[in-house]
Amino acid sequence: MRSSVRQVLQHRKDTVPQDPLLIDDVIEHAASEEILECDVISYLVASFHTTGNLLAWCLYYLATHEQVQQKAYEEIVGILGQEDLVTDSNIDRFQ
C-alpha cells in the first residue's frame, strides 16, 4: 500500500494542478514524507471504514423498519422503472 501511495503522491507532486485539491494542501504542509504517507493511508482507511459502517447501519435500519424499506423500494422503482441502473441523468430525482 505504501508503494502505491508513494507513486500517487509523486505523480501529484510532478503535475501542476489547475484546480488544487485537499491533497495538494496536505502535500504542501507535510512535516515529512513519512508523515505524509501515513496521513494519506489514514484518510483512505478511515473513509473505507466510515463508508462500510454507514452502509451496514443503513441496511440494518431498512431490515428492521419495513415501512421505510417499502417507501425506499417504491421510490427506486418509481424513478428507475425497468431500467436498473442509477445514472447521471436520474440520480438527482432521488430524495
3-state secondary structure 29-87: HCCCHHHHHHHHHHHHHHHHHHHHHHHHHHHHHHHHCHHHHHHHHHHHHHHHCCCCCCC
Q: For 10-65, write each residue's pLDDT tens digit.
A: 999 998 778 888 888 889 899 999 999 999 999 888 887 888 889 999 999 999 99
At 73 the pLDDT is: 92
Domains contained in the chain, number: 2
Residue 86, domain extent? 65-95
Mean pLDDT to the nearest integer, 5-9: 93
Q: Are residues 86 and 44 in the same domain?
A: no
Residues 82 and 51 reside in one and the same domain = no
Shared domain for 54 and 18, answered yes or no, is yes
What pLDDT is stored for residue 61 in this prediction?
A: 94
